[in-house]
Amino acid sequence: MAGDKDAWLALFADDAIVEDPIGPSHFDPEGRGHRGKEAIARFFDMAIAPSRLEFHFEKTYECGLEEANVGHIVIVAGGFRVVAEGVFTYRVNADGQMAALRAYWDVNAATASARRI
């Protein structure tokens, strides 16, 4: 939420993957995810840097090295407010570095929620 790209990238393992959302989207047309720090940096530039994000998780489930959060993320960008409802999962490796960030949300539903601000 601080918008600090270097600090955010430092959380990830070199071979980490970000799938946000899982499957094809305007951020990832082929739906393969963003693997490795260089690809994750590009994702940051496309999706996070131009946005203000608010995380609203109603439930969190921690299991071993993984966590699942149920709720929604509010994205404010380009004069619009969009709500992405879903399940957001995080997995760290044995060194505590982020190995996977996966977001289960429906692109069409989020797009339909867009409101001009």
- Cβ distance 65 to 93 under 8 Å? yes
Q: What mean pLDDT is reported for the chain?
A: 96
Taking the mean position of all CA atoms in its chain, how far away is CA 117? Answer: 22
Q: How many angstroms separate the CA atoms of 23 and 34, rounded? A: 11
Confidence category of residue 1, pLDDT binned at 50, 70, 90? low
On the question of pLDDT at 2 being above 90, the answer is no
Q: Which domains does the chain have, with CATH numbers?
A: 5-116 (3.10.450.50)
Q: How many angstroms separate the CA atoms of 5 and 36, rounded? A: 15
Q: How many angstroms separate the CA atoms of 109 and 41, rounded? A: 26
Per-residue model confidence (pLDDT) at position 24: 94
Token pair for 57: 């998780």
